[in-house]
Amino acid sequence: MVKLSVIVPFFNVRAYASDTLRSLRANAREDFEFVLVDDCSTDGTADLLRRAEQEIEGVVVIRHEHNAGLATARNTGLNAARGEYIAFLDGDDWVAPGHYAGLLARTEALGCQFVRTDHVQATGTARTVRRVPHGPRGEVSDPRGAILPATRTTSVDYAFAWAGLYRRDLLDMGLLHFTDGLRTAEDRPWIWRLHRQADSFAVVGTLGHFYRRGVASSLTQIGDERQLDFVRAYDQLLSETASDRDADTLLPKAVRTYCAVIAHHVGAIGRFEPHVARTLRSLSATALKNMPQPLLNDVLDTMDTERAAVLRRLRRRPAGIKEPTTA
């Protein structure tokens, strides 16, 4: 019987994949499986994965014929996973030796459906601890109750799918799959759905996951149209939250979060390619107009002046406006 399935998508991360694979070797156990999904890499990553399949216990490699993005690659892994518990790892990150065995033991002892963990952010040689923004540690809590308050950073703002462990019944309930095709912000509607529909969770202070920042090939470093998938992700988040039984209570948080993300991207618009910047403004303006306007008014009235000004300018933007080609 497989106790734990670790799902690891890879796409053109040959420079970092060896670290990831070494960390899996240091976590191997006879009842663990590592489902490695090669999302049609072209840089030699596939060769490393084939070698790992021969050398590391429990490794299974699945290769996509076409690049489909992180969300779809994770779904491929979920469809193949056999474990009682599920974990995620990105192909350019790594975990400490024995991390998964320790996390599994703590999760089983708590008896909840999922746990969320702290992590270490690795930027070059610098290391920074990042904590789950949730007060109680090592205590089983109601996931829905951890979404609010709207005006503070909460567990749903810490959306990293790899920062946790998930019991298989969540997969059977349809709560662990991601929206196919989303190339960024895929974890946002995912974490909200998990917190709205799961029955129990806990936060544990495990620091065994190392999240690599500043990778040149990462979408967070690339200003092309794939970045705009955040609009589709947050539109989904708003739509699903609006259908929730506690929509009146939860929507203010969802609207505020969406507004903050729009302000962030528009505030850094210079990093986008010109045609992407034009589309970003247009999509953001449409998104603001489609939000519940009384809730949007409340957010703009209570948000800091600089971000509120950016959003108000977008909100006043006439539909269908054409931007100069030199945006």
Whether the pLDDT of residue 143 is over 80: the answer is yes
Whether the pLDDT of residue 85 is over 90: the answer is yes
Query: Which of the four pLDDT bands, split at 50, 70 and 90, describes residue 214?
Result: confident
Statement: the pTM of the whole predicted model exceeds 0.95: no
pLDDT of residue 325: 42
The answer to whether 84 and 165 are in contact (CB under 8 A) is: no
Two tokens at 8? 């690891």
- Convert the pLDDT of each residue in 86-113 to its tens digit: 999 999 999 999 999 999 999 999 999 9
Q: Considering the domain boundaries, does residue 322 fall inside one?
A: no
Q: Which of 182, 216, 250 is the last residue of a domain?
A: 216
Residue 144 pairs in a beta bridge with none
Whether the pLDDT of residue 222 is over 90: the answer is no
For CA atoms 183, 207, 60, 172, give the dihedral sign: negative
Two tokens at 164? 């946790």
Note whether 110 and 44 are same-domain residues.
yes
Mean pLDDT score, 77-93: 98
List the beta strands (DSSP E) in the chain. Answer: 4-10, 32-38, 59-63, 85-88, 94-95, 114-117, 119-123, 126-130, 164-167, 201-204, 209-213
Note whether 26 and 136 are same-domain residues.
yes
Note whether 195 and 91 are same-domain residues.
yes
The answer to whether 255 and 238 are in contact (CB under 8 A) is: yes
Q: Considering the domain boundaries, does residue 326 fall inside one?
A: no
pLDDT of residue 178: 98
Note whether 289 and 248 are same-domain residues.
yes
Q: Considering the domain boundaries, does residue 29 fall inside one?
A: yes
Q: Considering the domain boundaries, does residue 304 fall inside one?
A: yes
Q: Considering the domain boundaries, does residue 36 fall inside one?
A: yes
- Convert the pLDDT of each residue in 268-306 to its tens digit: 999 999 999 999 999 999 999 999 999 999 999 999 999
Whether the pLDDT of residue 17 is over 70: the answer is yes
Q: What percent of the chain has pLDDT over 90?
A: 91
Q: Which of 216, 251, 273 is the last residue of a domain?
A: 216
Whether the pLDDT of residue 324 is over 70: the answer is no
Note whether 278 and 176 are same-domain residues.
no
pLDDT of residue 41: 97
Q: Give the structural domain span for 160.
A: 4-216
Note whether 55 and 139 are same-domain residues.
yes
AA identity, residue 252: P
Note whether 88 and 201 are same-domain residues.
yes
Q: Considering the domain boundaries, does residue 292 fall inside one?
A: yes
Note whether 276 and 205 are same-domain residues.
no
Q: Considering the domain boundaries, does residue 321 fall inside one?
A: no
- Convert the pLDDT of each residue in 56-68 to its tens digit: 999 999 999 999 9
Note whether 160 and 263 are same-domain residues.
no
Q: Which of 216, 243, 275 is the last residue of a domain?
A: 216
Q: DSSP characters for 225-265?
A: GGGGHHHHHHHHHHHHHHTSTTHHHHHHHHHHHHHHHHHHH
Distance CA 220, CA 272 (A): 11
pLDDT of residue 317: 83
Note whether 166 and 250 are same-domain residues.
no
Q: Residue 103 maps to which CATH number?
A: 3.90.550.10
Structurally, the chain folds into a number of domains equal to 2
Mean confidence (pLDDT) of the chain: 94
Note whether 84 and 170 are same-domain residues.
yes
Note whether 82 and 208 are same-domain residues.
yes
